[in-house]
A and B are shown apart, each in its own frame.
Chain A
């Protein structure tokens, strides 16, 4: 054997001996680890009531320690009952520290495929928040890299496991500097919901009792956000911006101050600008089970079309709610004020919507179900007030389509029903809303809160209406009241007294119909028609800005009815038997509360004029004017708003 071969053999022998030493040392170390596994865990266990189990601890030369099947156990040692289960944790020890400083120090931690049950983990956080913080503070202050690969956050309440979030994280701590990056993706029913996960990157500095975030960037396909802030001694501060291109949402100038001590998140101030509309929010959120909310959100809405100064509407939502298992229930009140009126705009001054039992069901998202126990809607225009009550309103929102959102709704509506559907075009701001609704079988007089005149109408009302806010805001439709009667309508009441015709106080009809239109110009009843045995009416009535009226109405009175009047009998004799019906055509104009009146030309009027001298005409004119003035005064004095 040559010297060369001897040298080679010695070299390999040394290698083999070294390998054997390492193997034996590793084996011995692994045996020590296995034996003292519980001793190693116990320092951690003192922080938590849960039992921490690790099936195996393996040393892998030269500097890796692997923990297999680590779990925080509540009851039984199975993944189904743990808030946290980690199949593999790999810790890389710092060779430098071991060799030079003879000190065991972890430089990198890799966590592979941790499985977290969201609901149980939230409870775990809630119960152990303080301990976790103490544990984190007890860790040695050293540089470390921390990686989580393929984390699975299970969102399913029952442990079915088909709705979860997957994520990858990397966290690097060097001195007081902390940086992190990663991505998060939703997985519904086995499929990832978006091609593009939400990616983040994060730079921060650790302080004595908290963390100061220099930059937190969030990016997704059509979403981008950049934030900075701090969390020190329980108090947090946040500022930044966010863009959401899909919904054309631009959130700028975020400024948030608050306190967070799990589970209570107290928002002292959150201000931001949403598409140039300033929004502020304050209140409390309890991240308990259920999650509790108590918030006040307010904004000044501006419509760029009209200019900011002339159309500012203050909107405020006070809401208390709970969120549990994809169900959000709330009570609250929504207020909308219009302190400055836009010239020629819709004369809405105030709107208030009080709601109880407003519940949203997110389980079938993007189909969003809604139920409203009861709601009271109140509108105030520059002249009038309107009230609408809704009970047991059910709605389904179809939110899958990015551009168009659809809604179907039905509700009890007084003693009848309301049913309809709508479409919201989200590609514009404000969103364009169109809706069609049908009202059935409602007692007309119960709608007196909506319009005081309804108190005089008795009978079952049905209506079909169409609403849109584009290109202009309008509500139009048709309405029919069947088999009812008109009782004490002021105009007929006045005619009844004036002409000694008590029958006019109560007019039974087969049906009365009208079309209606409400828009920025005002409100109008078109093609009004009332058919009854002795009285027919048709015409139109429009109410514009400043309560200006425009109306033409034809009234037909049967001869039989007029025969009952002591005042009309001589007139009928004067007219002869040519007239079976008397037709009064008249026009109304001027202010609603002080309407002008003109008796329009007709055969009946011509015949009357031919029969009486001019000075009698003038006397009648004067007398009627006095009577109408006195009628108006008495109406004002009695405080009646009915016409």
Chain B
């Protein structure tokens, strides 16, 4: 079901992809693809402008998963949604969580970057600098935190 969702996403049919991922979450809650599927549903809700459900999906992802590769991007989505909704306190908390989520040691490089490709076939990249974090979605700057 997970791969069917990916196939649907690859062919550009996000609605079907979403239905596959949601079915997986409903029928196989212990699946190893649970976190990726949850991320995909969050992405889908965000794309269609359903920020409330997107927020719920990313919050669940953030609280349930510990080593999920896309977790930092789920936080970026939550931050984006909080900014759009003008929730100042939530923005501050999320910025702090993102900033402190990774300890950075830069000896010879000026930054470190991590990538993630979502089940909806979107390419994510986060670049950590000593005083800022930049998130890219499909090569475009999606979110930035300076501190």
Q: Which residues of A pack against B, CB within 8 Å?
A: 343, 545-546, 548, 550, 587, 589-591, 594-599, 605, 609, 617-618, 620-621, 624-625, 628-629, 632
Contacts and interface: CB of A to CB of B under 8 A. Distances in A.
B84 interface: no
Given A343-B89, A546-B96, A589 B108 contact: no
A504 to B, nearest CB: 19
B104 A597 contact: yes
Q: Max chain A CB contacts within 10 Å: which of B107, B109, B130, B147?
A: B107
A624 B106 CA distance: 9
Given A343-B88, A548-B147, A598-B130, A590 B104 contact: yes
Contacts of A596: 103-106, 128, 130
A599 B108 contact: yes
A594 B103 CA distance: 6
Contact of A628 (B96, B105, B130, B147): B105
B103 A629 contact: yes
Contacts of B30: none
B100 interface: yes
A548 B96 contact: yes
Interface of B: 88-89, 92, 96, 99-100, 103-110, 128, 130-131, 147
Nearest to A627: B105
Given A587-B131, A589-B130, A548 B99 contact: yes
Contacts of B107: 598-599, 617, 620-621, 624
Contacts of B88: 343
A624 B131 contact: no
A599 B108 CA distance: 7
Contacts of B106: 596-599
A567 to B, nearest CB: 15
A35 to B, nearest CB: 92
Q: Which 7 A-B pairs have the closest CB atoms?
A: A596-B104, A598-B106, A598-B130, A617-B108, A591-B100, A625-B105, A546-B96
Contacts of B103: 590, 594-596, 628-629, 632
A605 B107 CA distance: 9
A589 B131 contact: yes
A630 B130 CA distance: 20
Given A597-B105, A599-B106, A621-B109, A550 B131 contact: yes
A341 to B, nearest CB: 11
5 contacts: A550-B147, A590-B99, A590-B104, A599-B106, A599-B108
Contacts, number: 63
A620 B103 CA distance: 16
A308 B96 CA distance: 27
Contacts of B100: 546, 590-591, 594
A310 to B, nearest CB: 11
B94 to A, nearest CB: 12
A605 B108 CA distance: 8
Contacts of A617: 107-108
B99 A591 contact: yes
A594 B97 CA distance: 12
B132 to A, nearest CB: 9
Given A596-B103, A598-B106, A599-B107, 17 more contacts: A546-B92, A546-B96, A548-B147, A550-B147, A587-B130, A590-B103, A596-B106, A597-B130, A598-B107, A598-B130, A599-B106, A605-B108, A621-B105, A621-B107, A621-B109, A625-B105, A628-B103
Contacts of A625: 105
Contacts of A343: 88-89
Q: Max chain A CB contacts within 10 Å: which of B96, B100, B104, B130?
A: B130
B131 to A, nearest CB: 5
Contacts of B108: 599, 605, 609, 617-618, 620-621
A29 to B, nearest CB: 90
A590 B96 CA distance: 9
Contacts of A587: 130-131
Contacts of B105: 596-597, 621, 624-625, 628
B27 to A, nearest CB: 40
Nearest to B95: A546
Contacts of A620: 107-108
Contacts of A597: 104-106, 130
A250 B85 CA distance: 42
Contacts of B89: 343
Nearest to A605: B108
A552 to B, nearest CB: 10
Nearest to B97: A546
B144 to A, nearest CB: 15
A595 B99 CA distance: 10
B7 to A, nearest CB: 37
Nearest to B131: A589
Contact of B104 (A545, A598, A609, A632): A598
A590 B109 CA distance: 17
Contacts of A609: 108
A230 to B, nearest CB: 51
A383 B108 CA distance: 33
Contact of A598 (B96, B99, B110, B147): B110
A385 B128 CA distance: 32
Contacts of B109: 621
A490 B108 CA distance: 23
Contacts of B92: 545-546
Nearest to A594: B103
Nearest to B129: A598
Contacts of A550: 131, 147
A550 B146 CA distance: 11
A343 B99 CA distance: 19
A589 B100 CA distance: 10
Contacts of A548: 96, 99, 147
Nearest to A632: B103
A618 B104 CA distance: 14
Contacts of A545: 92
Contacts of A594: 100, 103
Nearest to B110: A598
A601 to B, nearest CB: 9
A590 B105 CA distance: 11
